[in-house]
Amino acid sequence: MGNSLNAWSDALAGFQPAGLPLGLLIIAAIPLVFIALYALTYGVYGERKISAFMQDRLGPMEVGKWGILQTLADILKLLQKEDIVPTSADKFLFVIGPGVLFVGSFLAFAVLPFSPAFIGANLNVGLFFAIGIVALEVVGILAAGWGSNNKWSLYGAVRSVAQIVSYEIPAAIALLCGAMMAGTLDMQQINILQSGTYGFAHFFLFQSPIAWLPFLIYFIASLAEVNRAPFDIPEAESELVAGYFTEYSGMKFAVIFLAEYGSMFMVSAIISIVFLGGWNSPLPNIGPIALNDMTTGPVWGAFWIISKGFFFIFVQMWLRWTLPRLRVDQLMYVCWKVLTPFAFVSFVLTAIWEIYVP
């Protein structure tokens, strides 16, 4: 930890706005463009289409062929919408709330390794940073909910914060198991440790019989952390209108939306990095047919991690139309009395396995 603090103070001391390299800005811009494009295409259009097909509907069909331009029309509409700030709201909190949410979600993308050749900031505490920075969203949600001075918003915000904060415990302990298997918190290093010619057999999920437990715990907890069904009581539209963003309209609403889809990809990417090899190809070399070597490389890496992330987002959308919403007391029960004890069990078992079973 001392190292990272030193690095941080060095960064502040050596920082000069005039000497800011253009290349770095471009590196930071790539994830931003990625979030925007993915949220527009897969996030909004894809979710609406997938939801529709699961319910035997057609979904958006009017704008463009198969409704493909629907999201573009939505964005144009949101840009032109009047931005309403309630008279009784706390203006400052109301305005910065969506910003804090988005910046918190976007900062986590800084440490995601998109390919062997591309990572925004190769921190030696990358995994830890990702867990920590997501907690910044709690501040944004609370600012938005409290600043709105609306009962629905406040209830939604407080529920959401209690839920995110509670599920962070099993999620963090599950990722701790992954960190114990890797022996490092460096995101690129975690990926490199899972590469090999046998493809998926090198992934941490298949490296020990215990890894399934933290994998499942983290997946369930990550659903709650991004407020997805079945843990979507903060936005339960049948009881809370829209939760903490009830009063938002126009561009502020769009920013909240972008932040939510950003976090969805973020947790999906983390689960694929820690347990499913990140940018490593799952295909093994079979005798003379070197499938693994053929599908390894900077571009293939980006393809694999994005498809793994999209797969988990698909599962999140799928669960939304499969499971009913949990009640508040059931939510707390699942977190504190089921997931947390099991997370500790997996922590102890992983420690014993890693030390005594090589």
Residues 233-262 that bind another protein (CB under 8 A): 241, 246-247, 250-252, 254-255
From the list 346, 352, 300, 347, the residue with the least C-alpha distance to 195 is: 300
Cβ distance to another protein smaller for residue 2 or 324: 2
61: its two tokens: 């069909």
| Whether 277 contacts 158, CB under 8 Å | no
Pick one of 45, 94, 128, 279: the residue that binds another protein (CB under 8 A). 128
Q: Which residue type is seen at 123?
A: L
* C-beta of 29 vs 37, nearer to another protein: 29
Alpha carbon distances (Å) from 331 to 95, 170, 245, 325, 328:
30, 13, 21, 9, 5
Select from 318, 281, 286, 284 the least CA-distant residue to 297: 281
For residue 80, state whether it binds another protein (rule: CB under 8 A). Answer: yes
User: How many angstroms separate the CA atoms of 160 and 232, rounded?
Assistant: 8
Which stretch, 52-60, 152-160, 194-202, 285-293, contacts another protein (CB under 8 A)?
Answer: 152-160
Shortest Cβ distance from residue 91 to another protein (Å)?
11
- Provide the token pair at 88: 């009784």
Q: Which of 37, 41, 58, 83 binds another protein (CB under 8 A)?
A: 83
Residues 306-345 that bind another protein (CB under 8 A): 328-329, 332-333, 336-337, 340-341, 344
Alpha carbons within 13 angstroms on the beta-carbon side of residue 265 total: 29
Closest to another protein by CB, 18 vs 56, is 18
Q: Does 3 bind another protein (CB under 8 A)?
A: no
Q: Of 120, 156, 230, 277, which one interacts with another protein (CB under 8 A)?
A: 120
Among 152, 261, 304, 353, the residue binding another protein under the rule CB under 8 A is: 152
